[in-house]
Amino acid sequence: MSKTKEDDIEIEKQLRVLNKKPVKTIVTKIDDIIDCVDIYKQPAFDNPLLKKHKIQMSPDSIPGLRTNKTISSSSILGVLQKEICPPGTVPIRRTTKEDLMNAKKIIKKTRLIHANNTYPNAPPANQQFVYAEEIIEGKQYFGGTAYMSLHDMSIYRDELSTSQIWLLNGPHEQINSIEFGIMHDPLLFGDGRARLFGSWTADGHQTTGCYNIMCPGFVQVNRGITFGYQFHTGIYGKGVFDIYLMVRRAPLSKDWWLSIGSNAETSEPIGYWPNEIFTHLANSASNLRYGGFASALYRRSTPPMGNGYLPQLTDFTRTAYMVKMKYVNETGHTVNLDRRSMQIHRSTTTECYNLMLANPLGDLDITMAFGGPGGTITFGKEDL
């Protein structure tokens, strides 16, 4: 049997796992097809590691933390998607053969940088990042959170650009990671709109992990919001929108829960990455990073990041930002990062992308601005 035919058979097999028979199908105003599938028959449970997993409908409660029990997913659904799935079902964005093939190309091309943002030498010219992280030896992180600004950007079909948070643990070859935030990716989503994304791996994307729900792993519980959800964006210089995002490890089950909302008080869980699929992340993360990633599969240049403009800290209608950046401690509570221990990492020159941290006085929330227009790196110089 030819290699091509074997690949086609494997892809068809994966599509049968991902595209379960729906109870109901929702077509959004931007023509996304959302299948409402039985919550107990969703793709996650085709993962052999989750055969005995008992589904969790909500994260463990945290002592002393007030939550709003009346919030429903309709409160954060925009004008493009108002319908939610029936009780007992969850929304799964339908995956086509082209979607799956494109996702595999993206993971293969960006595997090293998505695993640990490090290279033996310099990164490829068409894969670049900028991020900030707290450097405190031996510190454990049980989640990360921030408000992220939302922007439109013009990117080509083979490009992707993110605003995201990384949770990492383990050696480079077997790195465990959870990445989440906002992605512009025409190959993955069919357009370049700002959308919710998540990614995971337990071995540096060698054999495990994927974007969103394109492999069995993430357990969806929310009936309205899922990966691929499109955000409403602001207008440069006039007004800006942001969204609250958090991943935290539940203290008892040790599953990693993704929550989203217009603010922290009204945020609600979307679903979780079960503890069983990880090795080094089974307990905690050793690194927590905030920033962006930009890549092109075939072009030599990289696309815009953030809002496409270099960052500044004077006018937040003209810059991409993250505010109230916090980590989750061992008790499940969000805590301010130590500004004095924050370091900025860039894989390219500041003419392409940059990141700026505000300088708060005392124990205040951390704020950063980041992004840039991208460009082409030629022998260490920028041709913008």
Domains of the chain as residue ranges with CATH: 129-371 (2.60.120)
Q: Compute, in degrees rounded to 10, the torsion defined by CA atoms 193, 266, 63, 88.
A: -70
Which of 164, 134, 137, 131 shows the shortest CA–CA distance to 148? 164
CA 226 to chain centre: 12
The pLDDT, as a whole number, for residue 124 is 63
Q: How confident is the model at residue 69 (pLDDT cuts 50, 70, 90)?
A: very low
The pLDDT tens digits of the residues spanning 265-283 come to 989 999 999 999 999 999 9
The pLDDT, as a whole number, for residue 384 is 30
Q: How confident is the model at residue 381 (pLDDT cuts 50, 70, 90)?
A: very low
Tell me the average pLDDT of the chain: 87
Two structure tokens written together for 59: 């994260």
Two structure tokens written together for 41: 């028959």
Q: What's the distance, Cα to Cα, between the start and end of the chain in Å?
A: 47
Which of 346, 338, 328 shows the shortest CA–CA distance to 59? 328
Going by the DSSP 8-state scheme, the letter that residue 106 receives in this structure is H
- Kindly state the average pLDDT of the residues 181-204: 94
- Kindly state the average pLDDT of the residues 285-295: 96
User: What is each CA distance from 136 to 141, 196, 246, 269, in whole angstroms?
Assistant: 11, 30, 21, 29
- Kindly state the average pLDDT of the residues 298-303: 84
How many Cα neighbours within 13 Å face the side chain of 259? 28
The yes-or-no verdict on residue 173 having pLDDT over 90 is: no
The pLDDT tens digits of the residues spanning 92-107 come to 999 888 888 888 888 8
The pLDDT, as a whole number, for residue 363 is 59
- Asked whether the beta carbons of 80 and 29 are under 8 A apart, the reply is yes
Which of 178, 153, 185, 167 shows the shortest CA–CA distance to 320? 153
Stated as kind and residue range, the H or E segment containing 6 is: helix 3-18
The yes-or-no verdict on residue 29 having pLDDT over 60 is: yes
Whole-prediction pTM value? Answer: 0.90
Two structure tokens written together for 44: 């996650």
The pLDDT, as a whole number, for residue 379 is 36
- Kindly state the average pLDDT of the residues 110-119: 52
- Kindly state the average pLDDT of the residues 353-357: 96
